[in-house]
Each structure stands twice: as structure tokens, then as C-alpha cells.
Amino acid sequence: MKVGIVGVGHGKFGRRSDATVQELAFEAFKAALEDTKNLERKDIDAVIIGSSPEYHKQRSIPGVITEYIGMNDKPTWLTEAACASASAALMSAYMAIKSGLHDTVLVLGVQKMTELNTAEIQSLMGRVGDVQWESIFGTTFPGYYAMYAAKHMNVYGTTPKQMAKTAVKSHHYGAMNPYAMFQKEITIEKALASPMVADPLRVYDCCANADGAAALILTKDDLAKEFHETPVWIEGTGSASAPISVLRRPDMTSIPSAVAAAKQAYKMAGVKAGDVKVADVHDCFTIAEIIALEDVGFVKKGEGGKFEEEGQTYIGGKHPVNVDGGLKSKGHPVGATGASQTVEIVKQVRGEAGKRQVEGADIGLTHNVGGIGQYCFVNIYGR
């Protein structure tokens, strides 16, 4: 039995002072329902929420959201894997359908981060690292990825200009995405002149905290055509974990969970990296995109920076990547990001991405990292 995606919905990412977390979820859910045909609430067997609960004033948000969107008395639960929470929800839905437990499942990735101030958010995110040996010394996410960047630069010669070129690409496509937090182009000069956050990462190397939601409706193959004319199939899925402490990582130029998850997904789908026509990878920082290109096998180790500098991740390049703006331009509501990536790839595979459409995008990939690599989920999608 195959599992397909028959409905996708995406809300606006940004500082959403106009909406509660429930309202953000409803915005995406409503869009996903409208994306289907002949599918009603009664056809959905379960609701799985991907979110990181510490950011919300409301506790136990799956119950609150499921009530608000009119899905009581269906079962509901939360998956939490830091920035990969929605991808964990997607895998849970896939397993529930594949096992025969449920036929049709709603996945909602949602996060409202801006109820907290920047210092509170940085403190929370820092505690995704090892609280015994690392976060007590003031680690932050920019600090962690600055270490990745410095090591990658030292070993492979990656340059600030190459990282800036990655940001320029992200903002180029974010300017075309109505859901993105930042819808404006930038120049390499502006990126390189922006203030330093954690050396060598500058402001334009870093994604922004955001509010937002994205929704996915999954079902089994013999129902899929009833609910959408062009179901997009999950052809392969992979997930892996890595030590929580970077002190125990063998290599600071790669995320081992991403390498392992990608291998699993390719094997299950029966494809190779070169077969992927479009991808969304986890670019919480520009160096993260460069490393992701290498970890999922689009380029050899150490060649990610050069690949970006050559423009090969643009539409028309060898591997179009993050042509929705990525986390860098869309913003990063941590619980929603994995679902947002999947919405984009589903639209690409259907041929519905408009002026950001990649020609011939019959196979797509998402790569979603949780924390500093403690979790990673890689999925392959096809028509």
C-alpha cells in the first residue's frame, strides 16, 4: 500500500500578532481542506500536531487545536522533535496509514514563537543542546552553527561570499512567495555588510523566528484519487538521530543524522540523489544549506559552497534548492517548518508552483533537521 498527500495548506509566516496558535492552525487546515475534492472533516481519522510546546502560553495544544478546527472527537496527539516536529508528525501519519490503523490523517505543523521575546527564545533554543555540558555556558543556535561554519571554512575553504550568495538566492525566491516572512531581494554586498551575530555568521546568514502553520492531509492509495486528481506519493522516508552534544560528534562539517536519513530515503524510494529535481533543505543558517547539499548527496563533501557560488541551486541549475525562500526567507516557526517544506514540494511535483516552478519536477526531496542535528527526517516525493 502506498501513502499519498491529497491536500496541502499554508498560512502566512511572520510576526502574527493577529492570530492565536489555534487560528494559525485553522488557517492552514482550511486551505488544505479546500485543496482536496470531496473530502470532509468526517473523512479524517486522526489529527497529529507537530510543534515545540515550550513556546506557547497554552499548554497541551493538540487538544485545544483539534477542538478549535472542529475535529473532536477524533484522536489527536503531539510530536516533538525540535525544528523537525512537523516531519515527525508526517512520519507518524505515514506509519499510522501504512499499518492500517487509520485511512486518512491530518498533519498540522504550527508554532507561535513571538509571544516570547528574543532572549527567551534564544534561551529555549540553546537548551536543545546538552544542558549539562553546553547550554550552561551560554550556547545559542547561531553559536552552534558558527562552529559548523568555521570548521567548514577551515577544512574546505568555504567563504563568507559563498554563504552570502546562498542568502541572496533565498531572498530572490522568497520575494516571489506570498507566504514568506521576508519578501524582498538582497545583494551580496548588503549580506556581507550586515552585523555579525556569531562569527562568521552575519544577520543575513541567519533565519528569523516566526509564527505560522502548514497542513497536510494523507491517505492510502485506494482512496487518494477520490480526494485529489494528482496525489503526491511518499516514495521514501528516512530518519535518524545523532548525539545531543556536539562534543561527541565525530565531524563538525556534517550532520550525521542527515547522511543516514538520506541513505534510508533513497534506498526505500529506489532513486539516487541525481534523480531529485527539486528540494527543500533545512537552511536555518546559510552554512546549514551548504552542508545539507553535501549530506544528501547533491555534491561531494566540501563542494557545497562552490555549488552555491555557481548558482547551481537556482531554478535552471543542476539542483534547484529552497526555491520557496527556505527558512532563511520564509522564517522559521519551528513546529511548522517540516510541513511547510512538504507543501512546497507537493506543489512543485504537481506543477503548481507558478513562477517558481521547476520544470520536470517529478521527484522532490525534503530534509528537515531538529535541534543541531539530534534528529533528521528526509522524504522523497513523486507523482
For the annotated catalytic residues, the residue numbers are 83, 332
Alpha carbons within 13 angstroms on the beta-carbon side of residue 344 total: 34
Neighbour order of strands in the sheet with 232-241: 76-79, 46-50, 104-112, 211-220, 3-10, 232-241, 375-382, 363-370, 278-281
Amino acid at 49: I
Residues 11-42: b if buried by 16+ CB within 10 A, e if exposed? bbbbebeebbbbbbbbbbbebbbebbeebeee
Residue 221 to residue 202: CA distance in whole angstroms = 46
Distance (Å, rounded) from C-alpha 48 to C-alpha 172? 33
Cα angle 71, 77, 83; round to 5 = 115
Residue 119 CB neighbours (<10 A): 8
Residue with the three cell numbers 516572512: 181
Measured CA to CA in angstroms, residue 5 lies from 11, 92, 120, 198 at distances of 18, 14, 36, 39
Distance CA 222, CA 286 (A): 41
b/e map 82-108, b = 16+ CB within 10 Å? bbbbbbbbbbbbbebbbeeebbbbbbb
Q: Residues near 54 by Cβ (< 8 Å), separated by ≥ 6?
A: 124
Cell output for 143: 553559536
In a 3-state reduction of DSSP, which class is residue 135? helix
Strand-strand pairing, 76-79 and 46-50? parallel
Within 10 angstroms of residue 322's Cβ, the number of other Cβ atoms is 26
Residue 73 preceded by cis peptide, ω within 30: yes
